Amino acid sequence: MDDIYLIIIIVLGLLAMGDLIVGVSNDAVNFLTSAVGSKAIPFKYIMILASLGIALGALFSSGLMEVARKGIFNPGEFYFDEIMMIFTAVMLTDILLLDFFNTLGLPTSTTVSIVFELLGAAVFMSIIKIGNSSGDFTELLNYINTSKAIQIILGIILSVVIALTIGAIVQWICRLILTYEFDKNKNWVTALFGAIALASITYFILIKGIKGTPFSDSKFELLGGVKIVEFIETDYIKIIISNFFLWFGLSFIFIKFLKFNIYKIIIGTGTFALALAFAGNDLVNFIGVPIAAYQSYQAWIVSGIGPNEFNMAILASKVSTPSLLLVFSGLVMVLTLWFSKKAKSVLKTSLDLSNQRNVRERFQPNFISIFLVKSFQSLNKVFINVIPKKTLEIIENRFSGSNKILKISDENEVPSFDMVRASVNLIVASVLISIATSYKLPLSTTYVTFMVAMGTSLADRAWGSDSAVYRVAGVVNVISGWFLTALIAFFVSGVIV
C-alpha cells in the first residue's frame, strides 16, 4: 500500500513540471506585453531581461508554500490518504485547465485556478467525510477557510474594475502632458516622468522582491540594526522620497548628457520587475501542491501510522522548499519562456486588443459589447456638451498624432503602441500590485496587468468607433473566461476527488 503513495508523489512531480510549462505559457503575457508591443527593445534582449527576472524571482520565492498547505482548508481536519487525493485532483485539474486556456490563446489567472481547485477538492472531500460519518453539513465550515475564498472572489471583481479605471485615468493624464510627440518634450519633463516611473518600479521590486525572501529578516547597521522588512514597512516615506530624487537626478543625466532614451530604460526595468514578481509569487501555483504532498509523505512514512489514521495538522507549520527545487523550477520556467508557442498565442491576444492600429479582429461583437460601447458613446457626448469648446480644442491638440506609429513603412516593425503607453502599463501595474501586497490583499497579477493594458488602450483612443465593439467583446470574453476558470477549477477538481 505504501508503494501507491510513492507512485503518486512521482506522478505529482511530473505534473509539476507540466504545470510550470503551461503556467508560464499563460502568465508570460503579464510581463512581456508592454515591451513586445512597444518594440522599444529588441526581442532577444526582452527575453534575456525576463529570463533574469524569472530566475531571480524563483530563488527569492523562499518556498513558503502556505496557500497549498493551509490557505484554503484546515489540514488538521484531514488524514494523509484524503490529503493525497485532494492534491492529486488539484494537479490533474490545473494542468488540463491552463492548457485549455493556452490553446484558446486567452490569459487567465494561475492564482485563481489553484485556489479554486484546492477549494473544490477540499469541499467535496469534506462532504464525503461528513456523509460517511452521518454528520451535519454545517460542519463544512470547520474544514474550509471560507474567508479566504470570499477574499479571492472579491479580489477578482475589484482588481478588474480598479485596474481598468486607474489605467485609463493615468494614461489620459500622461498623454495630455507628454502628447504623442513625447520625444520633443523638454529634458526636465521627461526626467520627471522617468523619475516617477523608475521610482515606482524599483519600490515595487522592494515590496514584491524582498518581502517574503530569506533576506527580509537580515539586519544591517546602515539601517539602524533593524530587519530589512521592518525598515521597508516603517520608513517607506523616506524610501519613496529618496528613491524619487535619486532617479530624477539619474534620469536627467541619462537624457541630458548620455543621450539615453529613458523610456527604453523604464520598459526594460519594468519587464524585469514584473517577471521577478511573477516567479517569486506565482511559483507556489505550480509547485506548491506537489511540494506539500512530498512533505506530507515524508511525515507519514516515518510515523508508522496507517494513511487513514495519520492526521495532517503538520501542514499548518511553515516549511521552506529546498533551494535546488527552486533553481530547477526557475530553469524550467526560463526554457518555457523561450520555446513555448502557446505563450506567443496568449501574448498575441493581449497585443491585438490593445493595438493602436486596425488589426484583424479576432472576437465578434456581442450584445454586451454593443451595449457598453453605445452607453459610453452617449456619456461621451454629454461630456462634450458640458466642457467648453476651447478646452476641447486644447485636449484634441494634445491628443493629435495618435496615428504616428502608422507612418513606419515596414509592417513588421510597426509597434502595437508607443513607449509612453508601455511605460504607463508597467508603472500602474507595479504600483497597484505593490499596494495590494503591502496590505496583504488577494490580487491576480494577470487581472491587473491585462486590465491596466485595456484601460490605457481606451484612454489612448486605440479603440476607435469601428473597432470598439470588437475590442470590448474581446475584453468581455477574457473576463468571462476568468470567472469560468474559477467554476471549472472548483467542480472538476471536486469531481475527480
pTM score of the predicted model:
0.89
Per-residue model confidence (pLDDT) at position 319? 61
What are the distances in angstroms from CA 383 to CA 62, 162, 331, 377, 386? 51, 22, 52, 10, 5
What is the rounded distance in angstroms from the CA atom of residue 282 to the CA atom of residue 443? Answer: 11
Which pLDDT belongs to residue 208?
Answer: 59
Amino acid 139: pLDDT:
81
- The pLDDT of residue 357 is above 90: no
Q: Which residue intervals of 133-256 are DSSP H helices?
A: 140-143, 146-178, 187-205, 228-234, 236-256
User: What percent of the chain stands above pLDDT 90?
Assistant: 40
Judge whether 343 and 337 are in contact, CB under 8 Å: yes
Higher pLDDT, 247 or 230: 247
Encode 267-281: b = buried (16+ Cβ within 10 Å), e = exposed. Answer: bbbbbbbbbbbbbbb
- The more confidently predicted of residues 149 and 464 is 464
Grid cell for residue 31: 510581463
Question: Counting beta carbons within 10 angstroms of the beta carbon of residue 455, is it exposed (0 to 12), middle (13 to 18) or buried (19 or more)?
Answer: buried
Confidence of residue 63 (pLDDT cuts 50, 70, 90): very low
**DSSP-based three-state secondary structure for 154:** helix
- Residues 204-226 have pLDDT tens digits of 877 656 665 556 666 766 666 77
For position 411, what pLDDT does the model report?
57
Residues 360-415 pLDDT 10s: 888 889 888 999 899 988 888 888 888 898 999 988 888 886 655 545 545 566 88
Nearest to 35 by CA among 19, 48, 54, 25: 48
Q: What is the DSSP string of 341-380?
A: HHHHHHHHHHHHHT-SS-----SPP-HHHHHHHHHHHHHH
For 65-120, the pLDDT digits (tens) are 555 555 678 888 899 999 999 999 999 999 999 999 999 888 888 888 888 898 99
Q: Are 277 and 210 in contact (CB under 8 A)?
A: no
* Cα separation, 225 vs 220, whole angstroms: 5
Model pLDDT, residue 72: 78
Per cent of the chain over pLDDT 70 is 88
Residue 341 has pLDDT above 60, yes or no: yes
C-alpha cell recorded at residue 352: 491585438
18-59: pLDDT as tens digits: 999 998 888 888 889 999 999 999 999 999 999 998 888 887
All residues at 6 or more sequence positions from 130 whose CB lies less than 8 Å from its CB, including other chains = 136, 137, 139, 140
pLDDT score for 146: 77
Predicted confidence band at 167 (pLDDT cuts at 50, 70, 90)?
very high
Cell numbers representing residue 249 in the block? 537626478
Give dist(CA 16, CA 484) in Å, integer: 23
**What gap in Å lies between CA 350 and CA 381, rounded to an integer?**
29
- At 209 the pLDDT is 60
Grid coordinates belonging to 427:
508603472
71 DSSP assignment = I
Q: How far apart are alpha carbons 451 and 160 in whole angstroms?
A: 6
pLDDT score of 68: 55
Q: What is the pLDDT of residues 255-310, one digit of tens each?
A: 999 999 999 999 999 999 888 877 877 777 788 888 888 988 998 999 889 899 99
Compute the distance between CA of residue 45 and CA of residue 300 in angstroms, rounded to an integer. 47
Q: What is the mean pLDDT of the chain?
A: 85
User: Is residue 314 within 8 Å of 299, Cβ to Cβ?
Assistant: yes
**DSSP 8-state secondary structure symbol assigned to residue 321:** P
**pLDDT one-digit tens code per residue, 151-162:** 777 777 788 889
- Say if residues 327 and 59 touch (Cβ distance below 8 Å): yes
